Amino acid sequence: MCGIAGIARLGGRTLGAETDAVLDRLADILDHRGPDERETLRDDAVGLVFTRLALVDPEDGSQPLVSDDGSLVLVANGEVYNHRELAASLPGGAPLKTGSDCEVLLYLYREHGLDFLRDVRGMFALILWDRARNQLVLARDRFGIKPLYYHRDDARIVLSSEIKGLFADPATPRRFDWEGALATPLLASAGTFNEAPVSTWFEGVELVPAATVERIDLADGRTTRHRYWELPEDSDEGAGAPEFVRRYGELLEESVQECVTADTELGLFLSGGIDSSAVLALAGDKRAGMHTFTALTGGTFDNGDAENAAWIARELGVPNHQVVFPPDHVPTPQEWLRLLWLTETPMCGPEVYYKHELHRFARAARPGLRGMLLGAASDEFNGGYARDMGARDWPSFLGILSLVDRDTRLARRPALRHWWAQEPYFVSPKGIDGLDQDGDRLYRAYLRSEYWQIQQYNVWHEDRTAAGSGVEARVPFLDHRLVELCARIPERLRPELLWNKRILREAVGSRLPERIAERPKVPFFYGEGTYHSYRMLVRLMRADSGALVERALAAPGAADFIDGDRVRAHLAEIGEGRTDAPSVEMLMRVLNMGLLAQLAVDAPRLEDTSPGAVLQEVTGGGPVSEAVADLPELPGDAVPVFAENVLLLTDPAGADWYLIKDGEIEFVLQAGSPTLEVLRAVDGRTPLAGLLAPVGAEGEQEARADVGNLLDLGFLAWAG
C-alpha cells in the first residue's frame, strides 16, 4: 500500500515552482499510507507524489517509475500479483530496471494502450503520465480496492489516494455534498438495489471508477473513459456442481498464495468463521510465523466468533491475539473525529472502529508487520447473505429479491408508489416498467448491487482502517476469476451451490475441521450482541455533554438538512441498556455527515490528532473472559418464567429449538447450548441460581448474558 497524488496543468501550461509547496503538503497528508519513503517530481505540466509502504522489494522499489525511453512515468498504489508472467508475455520481454511489481504496467501500456490492464491480476490505482502524447492515464482495479480521487477545473486537475489530499490545493472546494449523500440508498439502509454511481460525499470530488481507465488530454482537457472489465452476465451451462466446486477451490488457493507473497511480515484478521479460516488454511506453509488478530467484543463473545477464532488458530498452529474491547470502552469524541477524517465516509460505524483498533494493535504488537490478510468480500458473491436477509431457502431468497427489485423500480417511477403503499396489492409489478419477476434477472440485479456496495463501503473502509496504521489490506476473495466463476453459475445450480455458501464449504471442507467448515455464518457486527456496539455509540454521542452532536449541528449546511431538535430528543430517549434499535446507527450516520462538513472546512492533519491508547489483548483467561462478558446483575433467588405470549418449541428431530413470540419465530437455539439447557429447565418454580448450576462456569456466563437479554426484550419475566 502506498499513497499517490499529483497535479497537472491543462491548456498547455506548465507548473511553476509555487506548486512544490502543494506537492509537499500532499506528501505530508498521505504520509500514513507510505511511511517508509516519499518522492516528488515536477516536470513541465505534471507534478507527482509517492509515499511508499514497502512490502515487495523494499530495497529497490521506489517510484515514480520511468520507462526505458523516458516517455512514460508512473506512480501506482497496490500490488500486481502476476507481474512476472505479464513481463514474460511481452514481445522480447520487458526491460525492467527494478524489482517493483508495478513496473511492468509501463510496458503493458506501451504495448496495448488503454487495454493494458486486461490480464492484470491484483489491486491497484495508478497515475501514468504519457509524455509523448501529453496525456494523463488514470486507472483502478476491477473492484476499486485501491482508491483514487480528483478535482478538476478548466485550469488544472489535482489527484490523491484520499479525499483529504485534494484539499491541499486551495482551488478544491471544501463542501460536504448533503443532497448527494442523502440520496445514497445505502446510507439510509434503503431496501433497494444499489444502482447509482459511487458517491464521494463531497462536492466537486470525483473518483476514477473501478475497472476503468480514464485518459485526459492535457492540451485541451478532453477525457475518454475505457471500461476494461464487467461483471459477467452469461452462464457456464456446460459444467456441473462438482466442477464448479473444484475450480472454486483451486482459484481460491491460488489467490491466497498470491496474496501471501511479500518480503515483509503479514498478519490475518481471524473471525472464527469459514472465510478468514479458509484463507489461513490455504496459506499453507506461508502461515509459519503468521500472527492472527481477533476482536474480542461483547458481540463476538456472545456469538462465538472469539472462541472459534482461538480454537482454529490452535488447530492450525498460529498465534492468535484476542484484542479486548471492554464493556465500558468508548472512544472519545476526539478519537471519533480522527477516525471519521481518516475514513472520509458517513458510513463510519462500530465495524469500522473495531477494525481500525485491530490494525493499531497489530502494528504495535508486531512493528515489522506491513500487510493484513482479510476474509472480506466472500459473502457478496457466493451466497453468504441469503439467510441474513431472512430467507429460509433459495425460493424464499428469490422472493425477497423480488420485493427489493419492486421497490428499486418504484424509486424510478415514484408516481406509482402509492399503489404499493399498503396491502393488498392489486397492480402487477410488471406494470411498473414492463419487467417480469424473472429469477435470473433478479439474481443478477442483486449481484450488480453487491458489486456496487463493495466499492461504496467494504473496500473503502478496509483501505482506510489499514492505511491509518501503515498497513496494506489484502483481500483474496476479490480475485476477479473467483467472482466471474460464481457469477457464471447457471440458474439450475444456484440453489445447490449458492445457498448458505455451499460452494465455499465444499471447496475447503477437506482443509478445515468440520466445526469451522460447517459453522453457520454470523455477522462480524450485526446480529447477536449488536446492543454492545449500539450502547457504545450512545455513550459516544452523549460524551462531553453531547459535544459531537452540537458540533455536527453547527456544521455548514447542517441546519438545512438536520432536524436538531429531533436529534436531541431521540438521543435523550435512547437507553444505554440492551438496545438493538437500528436508529442508533442511523443517528450516528446523520451526525457523521455534519462532522465531515465541519472537518472539510478545517481539514486537520492526521498527525495533529490522537487516536488514543492502543487496546490490549486478553491474557491468561482465554476468549471466554469477564473482560467483555458484561454479565447483568440478576438475582439468583428469583424465579424466571416465560412471558404469556412466548413459547419454546422444537422440530420433530429436536435438532433446533425456537423461541416464538406472538406466533413469530424470534430466536433459533442450537441443541447443546447452555442457554437452551437453562430455558428448557424453566418451570416456574426453580430459581435462576438452580437453573444456571448444571451448565458449569463457562456455560453460566453465556446463559446469564442471554437470560438478561431475554428479560430486557420481554421474553422472560420474574415470577410474581
From CA 190, how far away is CA 407, in angstroms rounded? 9
* Residue 416 near residue 432 (C-beta atoms within 8 A): yes
* Closest to 633 in 3D by CA, of 687, 579, 696, 707: 707
Q: DSSP characters for 295-361?
A: EE-HHHHHTSHHHHHHHHHHHHT--EEEEE--TT----HHHHHHHHHHH--TT--HHHHHHHHHHHH
Within a 10 A sphere around the Cβ of 518, how many other Cβ atoms? 12
| Peptide bond just before 424 cis, omega within 30 deg | yes
* Residue 214 near residue 125 (C-beta atoms within 8 A): no
Q: Is 486 a catalytic residue?
A: no
Residue 459: exposure state from Cβ atoms within 10 A (0-12, 13-18, ≥19): buried
- What is the separation of C-alpha 599 from the centre of its chain, rounded to a whole number of angstroms? 23
From CA 75, how far away is CA 674, in angstroms rounded? 56
From CA 227, how far away is CA 419, in angstroms rounded? 39
Edge to edge, the sheet with strand 646-650 lists 646-650, 656-661, 664-670
* Closest to 465 in 3D by CA, of 361, 604, 559, 579: 361
- Helical residues (DSSP H) of 131-273, grouped into ranges: 163-166, 178-182, 241-259
For residue 697, CA distances in Å to 147, 330, 526 come to 48, 28, 27
From CA 394, how far away is CA 500, in angstroms rounded? 9
DSSP 8-state secondary structure symbol assigned to residue 595? H
706 CB-near residues (< 8 Å, 6+ apart): 302, 675, 678
Annotated active-site residue in 2, 102, 259, 348: 2
Catalytic residues: 2
